[in-house]
Structure 1
Amino acid sequence: MPQSRGHRGRPAAHAPPETRQDPTLSSVPAPTAVPRVIPRDQHPISRRSISPNALRVLYRLRDAGHAAYLVGGAVRDLLIGVQPKDFDVATDATPEQVRHLFRNCRLIGRRFRLAHVVYGREIIEVATFRSAGGDDGEGDREVHADGRVLRDNIYGTIEEDAVRRDFTANALYYAIEDFSVRDYVGGFDDVQARVLRLIGDPETRYREDPVRMLRAVRLAAKLGFSIDPSAAAPMPGLASLLHDAAPARLFDECQKLFLSGHALASFEGLEAHGLLGALLPETARALASNRSGALRKMLVEGLQGTDARVARGEPVSPAFLFALLLWPGYCRELMQLQGQGVHAIEAERRAADRITLQQSTRIALPRRFSLPMQEIWLLQSRLRQRKRSQRLLAHPRFRAAFDFLVLRQAAAPEHAADVEYWRALQAGMPPPEAGEEELAQVESTDAAPARKRRRRRRGGGAG
């Protein structure tokens, strides 16, 4: 049963670090009272690289007498020369005090109470310093019996806030008053070494929030960091904890893993750390049983293409992505059904439905993506049969299904003839080895715009 503790509160702006520890964080070391301060001339962060809106928030909080720092991924990225997409601020002001300072502010969240300061399309997220907490009435914390943190609104000091963050690289604070970087947990050196290291005992931190394992893989893929061995070692044994994560949250995490330009590295990271089976169980089973390696080759080819599209600034359809990620499981299920004597067309529909249903229990795949995904799969057999070609060309999912067939060719050359056939047909050329029916279809398509239907003149005169 969850355990509820206390009510919301806030310590003084510069209260000394407290020694209380929550049982779930018993392995987290005590915060360092005196941080390592990296002065402006020893780090590359410039205000020119920081969002002007984030600077506005920092300066207004400071002018109102509050401590305010740029924190987390933005500081990490700026240190390694990557321009951040988001800028987060940490402060000793409560969410209600932040809202009082900014008319363009809204408060969100239950698990983590946050202030969003909105400037047009940009949102600056402002979080109050948080503590691991204790049962002393200073805040609001709820912990499940299995160690998962359900709500965490115990406010504390900057030292405590640093310790309760996930990775040392994300626990760095840029101070607006002197432009220095404050480091309480050794994150500055870890960023320089390009390593992700968990703060505290890794198993305890993963039990608090199992999605941290996926986050570690994603950040390592995105940044080109290695995962510290102490953080990587527990992952295979704790992968099953992901079964208890909210399916909607796992769907969001999947999009971050595979639609941010580092899909292949993320996939390989999931495999290497024993997490693929917890996230995409049918895919993992199919890849393990596919001796030829063709399914994995196609998957790798598709993920490389996804990364290339993101790099070029081109859109990537989540429906196509999940059609790719779940294709191995679909193929395995289809073969099993056909082996049981189920008719081909019926087997295809059953396989598509089963894989979609099974995966949806793990990841909340919306119907607006799952239905097009199934259409891409089911059109593959029609592309091989080459029947009613012009009607198939007009199908709303034809182009996606054709692109999927091209991917299949990369892993299985026997699809080359089908690819060339449909490529020629799209170009209005006679397909290779076309029969009379296909030639007639091409000719009728080319001639169609020039023909006009004659109106039949009715008999009878004007009067």
Structure 2
Amino acid sequence: MEQHNTATENASASADAASTSPVIIPRAEHGISRANISRNALKVLYRLKEAGYRACLVGGGVRDLLLGREPKDFDVATDAHPEEVNRLFRNCRLVGRRFRLAHVRFGREIIEVATFRAPHDNGDDDTGSEENGDALVEDGRLIRDNVYGTIEQDAWRRDFTVNALYYDIADFSVVDYAGGMEDLRQGVLRLIGDPEVRLREDPVRMLRAVRFAAKLGFRVDPTCEAAIPRMAGLLAEVAPARLFDEAIKLFHGGYGVQTFEMLRRYDLFRYLFPGTEEALSHEENNFPITFVANALKSTDERIDEGKGVNPAFLYAVMLWEPVRRLADNLMESGTPWLPALQQAGGAVLSEQAAHIAIPKRFGLPMREIWEMQPRFDQRRGGRALRLLGHPRFRAAYDFYCLRAASGEALEEGCEWWTRIQEVSADEQRRMVSAGDGAGDSPGGRRRRRRPRRRKSDSGG
């Protein structure tokens, strides 16, 4: 592949593009109303304006307002430097090293304020790392970026055209330097600049492309779409902690099913969950892909209903099949079911951490969910009643029923555990005395339905 001097190309492209006059959409010709903007965001915008600075809403908030959606966040861009923003707001805190930002806090709401960025010119050598001012580029990737500039320069530094739209509080117009308004109308997600250069600069943009396309129902521009599978391997160079945050955004945005399908289509999923991707190549009656898809569908429904979701459950689902397969191998070698699940869970979590970091506060609940699964086969005596009182019972029960709905556990088991939660204490004792045909000890083995008479899906 031809080597790119990322910083120099971006600086040149930005300089050429910035010389083009922006399209200004006046208040009467766009649908953004201040009534739909957070009052706290307006406070920040007006105070910056009154202090003599230029202040604009930018990014996803503007995009969503123009699409008639309710924004999740409101971000502000300004020509004020972070230290100047900090002096204007007593409730401000400066954060970040790679991107120096000001966070203005109003109770639970944080308004993020970023200074307009300029192109970073990194010289002629892209084999090592060089600093220029407060920017640092290494092997084509932007490591630190605190070189400040104008709104024109800032627009051409952004990732997608639909995220490079500015709502200017001075006259309530929308400022468009990169053709974002037309792409919004056409439903196109287009990177600004050469896709290979921009993806090399920050490989996480591939995940953002998938997330925005799934969320907005947009199609990815063909040039970008062609570049993503070629560049997918760059995700291996992204810090695992950063990928943890990105994975939560991907699967907890309310469009998890579509996101999962697109990640696999663009060959990105295997760089996030390599063990899971390998397990998906050994489908049996559409399992485990049905299990993952059903779990994501359930998560999407909970988000749509305004219910809470826990990252531990998502990761427990994603890694269950690698854990189960390894535990089965250990049990075939004579390891009892609980130690087998414990060893398998530890090994899979350790391997996964090299790709996506999983904080301990999520790792422990995941292991408890996995290790409780065989106990749902025990439906006699005090053990069943004690399982009902386990603090992680509800999550493990939901997990078990997802397995049943996907053909990996007995549906009558899920029905039994559902029923026992709904009856009186006397009826619970009767049920555990009868056992309803359940065994006395967990076997830790999958129980399959009869093979279905249809060809298994291969694309999620």
- The aligned amino acid for 2:119 is A
Q: Which residue is equivalent to 1:418?
A: 413
Q: Which residue is equivalent to 1:454?
A: none
TM-score normalized by the length of structure 2: 0.85
Q: Which residue is equivalent to 1:141?
A: 135
- Paired residues of 2:384 and 2:432 also in contact (CA < 8 A): no
**What is the deviation of 1:150?**
1.0
Q: Which has the larger radius of gyration?
A: 1
1:332/1:138 Cα in 2 relative to 1: closer, same or farther (>3 Å)?
closer
Q: Aligned match of 2:290 in 285, 291, 297?
A: 297
**What is the deviation of 1:432?**
12
- Paired residues of 1:424 and 1:432 also in contact (CA < 8 A): no
CA distance in 1 between counterparts of 2:234 and 2:271 reads: 8
Query: Is the partner of 2:94 in helix, strand or coil?
Result: strand
Per-residue displacement from partner, 1:15-43 (whole Å, max 9, x unpaired)? xxxxxx93262684522431011122221
Give 5+ residue unaligned stretches, structure 1: 1-20, 440-463
Aligned length: 419
CA distance in 1 between counterparts of 2:318 and 2:73 reads: 28
Q: Which residue is equivalent to 2:310?
A: 317
Per-residue displacement from partner, 1:165-206 (whole Å, max 9, x unpaired)? 011111011112221111111111111112111111111111
CA distance in 1 between counterparts of 2:169 and 2:354 reads: 46
CA distance in 1 between counterparts of 2:45 and 2:190 reads: 28
When the two chains are superposed, the root-mean-square deviation of aligned CA atoms in Å is 2.4
Aligned counterparts, 1:53-72, within 5 A: 53-72=40-59
Bigger mean CA offset, 215-224 vs 424-433: 424-433
- Paired residues of 1:22 and 1:134 also in contact (CA < 8 A): yes
Aligned counterparts, 1:245-324, within 5 A: 245-324=238-317
Q: Which residue is equivalent to 1:31?
A: 17
Q: Which residue is equivalent to 2:237?
A: 244
Structure 1 position 170 matched with structure 2 position 160: no
- The aligned amino acid for 2:17 is P
Give 5+ residue unaligned stretches, structure 2: 1-5, 124-130, 437-460
CA distance in 2 between counterparts of 1:436 and 1:148 reads: 63
**What is the deviation of 1:151?**
0.6
CA distance in 2 between counterparts of 1:100 and 1:183 reads: 30
- Paired residues of 2:79 and 2:116 also in contact (CA < 8 A): yes
Q: Which residue is equivalent to 2:7?
A: 22
**What is the deviation of 1:342?**
4.2
CA distance in 2 between counterparts of 1:213 and 1:77 reads: 20
**What is the deviation of 1:346?**
3.2
Q: Which residue is equivalent to 1:347?
A: 340
Q: Aligned match of 1:401 in 379, 390, 396?
A: 396
CA distance in 1 between counterparts of 2:232 and 2:17 reads: 29
Query: Is the partner of 1:155 in helix, strand or coil?
Result: coil
CA distance in 1 between counterparts of 2:122 and 2:349 reads: 44
- The aligned amino acid for 1:399 is R
**What is the deviation of 1:341?**
5.1
**What is the deviation of 1:298?**
1.4
Structure 1 position 223 matched with structure 2 position 208: no
**What is the deviation of 1:343?**
4.2
1:203/1:432 Cα in 2 relative to 1: closer, same or farther (>3 Å)?
farther
**What is the deviation of 1:345?**
3.5
- The aligned amino acid for 1:147 is G
CA distance in 2 between counterparts of 1:128 and 1:309 reads: 37
CA distance in 2 between counterparts of 1:435 and 1:391 reads: 11
Q: Which residue is equivalent to 2:446?
A: none
1:435/1:375 Cα in 2 relative to 1: closer, same or farther (>3 Å)?
closer
- The aligned amino acid for 2:392 is R
CA distance in 2 between counterparts of 1:378 and 1:308 reads: 26
Q: Aligned match of 2:29 in 21, 32, 42?
A: 42
Aligned counterparts, 1:75-154, within 5 A: 75-134=62-121, 139-144=133-138, 146-154=139-147
1:174/1:351 Cα in 2 relative to 1: closer, same or farther (>3 Å)?
same
CA distance in 1 between counterparts of 2:117 and 2:212 reads: 23
- Paired residues of 1:287 and 1:293 also in contact (CA < 8 A): no
**What is the deviation of 1:135?**
6.4
Per-residue displacement from partner, 1:403-442 (whole Å, max 9, x unpaired)? 1111111111751121122223223365899685659xxx
- Paired residues of 2:420 and 2:428 also in contact (CA < 8 A): yes
> After TM superposition, what 4+ stretches of structure 1 lie above 6 angstroms from structure 2?
135-138
